[in-house]
Amino acid sequence: MVGAPRGGGELIVTTALSVTNVTKRFGGLTVADNVSFDVPQGARMALIGPNGAGKTTLFNLISGVHKIDAGSITLDGKEIKDLAPRTRVHAGLSRSFQNIRLMPHLSVIENIMLGQHTQASGLGALLQPIAWQRKSIWRERAIESMHSAGIKVDPDASVGGLPYGVRKKIEVVRALMSRPRLLMLDEPAAGLNPRETAELSAFLKAVAWEGLTLLVVEHDMSFVNDLCEHTVVLNFGRLIYNGPTAGVHVDPQVREAYLGTRKSDKKEPSHVA
């Protein structure tokens, strides 16, 4: 199922994101313990692990919400560990949040257009009255992305009253509006029904075909199996697996990690068995 046209075939594989010996402590708790892995350009990689393993924290470190204590993070070969979060967005990184973080008082289209902020540089773009312009390029691009993601709601509706699955999709689209080279999604399928999950998977494959690199945190292993060819597994802040997704469920360390901390709320209890 791996698509041939992506990247440069087997010849040149460049690295989109490189995490090297990253360590982070919160007080006495080491939430990232010497973590190293690479995400190749154009890859669709999963980041999985039991609850509290440190997946969201790793996203926070990569996107710059928290500073790392040690190690290095490069995006397209450039060191980004000391950059402000917004500068990392300019550098091509974009993310969604585990708990939906849409702006409750903004409409659907406003939330999506907010994602374009780093694209609209200069005072002229900042002072453009986009809310009054029904035909602006910005609004048109946002509507287009809504449609390609299958979001069929009134663009001017308030986001508050929308179903969970739709809001989750809006967040993915908003993250895409900055035209990232690396998109990091934190549990995008959580709370979606099977049909919505399949739709999301198809949509993400489509955007990845256009050259986008994906790093996805997800508990739903059927989603991961369908979308991601590579998987890294975290447990107590340590990387315990880095390889093909197909090999995850037979790896002894991974099995132990999941069996040891098995939570009843897992969507797919059978995914490591």
Partner 1 sequence: MSGYLAGTLAILCINLIFAYGIFVSAAAGQINLGGAGFQAIGAYATGFIAGTLGLPVWFSIPAAATISAFIGFLIAFPVLRTRGVYLVLATFAFGEVVSGFLLHTDTFGGAMGMVVPVHIELWVLMLCAIVVTLLTFYLMATRLGLAMRSINDDEEATVVIGVNVRAVQVAAFTIGGAFTGLSGALYAHNYGFVEAQYFNALLSIYVLLFVLIGGAQTAWGPLAGSLFFTVLPELFRVGGAWRYVIFGVLIVLMMVIRPEGMVTRDLVRKLSPRQWWARRAAVGS
DSSP 95-127: E--SS----TTSBHHHHHHHTTTTTS-SHHHHT
- Which residues fall within 8 angstroms of residue 199, CB to CB, at 6 or more apart? 150
Stretch that binds Mg ion, among 6-14, 91-99, 148-156, 237-245 (CB under 5 A): 91-99
Q: Is 132 in the site for partner 1 (CB under 8 A)?
A: yes
Identified binder of partner 1 from the candidate list 18, 30, 34, 107, rule CB under 8 A: 107
Q: Is 126 in the site for partner 1 (CB under 8 A)?
A: yes
Taking alpha carbons only, the member of 238, 182, 260, 250 closest to residue 16 is 182
Cα dihedral 89, 55, 112, 193, rounded to 10, equals: 160
Identified binder of partner 1 from the candidate list 15, 72, 98, 128, rule CB under 8 A: 128
- Give the nearest distance from C-beta 239 to partner 1 in angstroms: 24
Q: Is 106 in the site for partner 1 (CB under 8 A)?
A: yes
Q: Is 110 in the site for partner 1 (CB under 8 A)?
A: yes
User: Binders of Mg ion among 93-112, rule CB under 5 A?
Assistant: 98
Strands (E), the chain: 7-10, 15-26, 29-40, 44-48, 70-75, 78-79, 93-95, 182-186, 213-217, 230-235, 238-244
DSSP 163: -
**Residue 5 half-sphere exposure toward CB, CA atoms < 13 A:** 7
Identified binder of partner 1 from the candidate list 174, 181, 219, 230, rule CB under 8 A: 174
Identified binder of partner 1 from the candidate list 29, 65, 202, 259, rule CB under 8 A: 65
- Give the nearest distance from C-beta 107 to Mg ion in angstroms: 28
Identified binder of ligand ATP from the candidate list 3, 14, 25, 51, rule CB under 6 A: 51
Query: Closest CB to Mg ion among 55 and 88?
Result: 55
Q: 3-state class of 16 per DSSP? A: strand
- Give the nearest distance from C-beta 82 to partner 1 in angstroms: 16
Q: Report CA Rg, the chain.
A: 19
Binding site for ligand ATP (CB under 6 A): 26, 31, 49, 51-57, 98
Give the interface with partner 1 as residue ranges (CB under 8 A).
63-65, 85-86, 89-90, 95, 97, 101, 103-107, 110, 113-115, 117-118, 120, 125-132, 138, 154, 156, 158, 174, 178
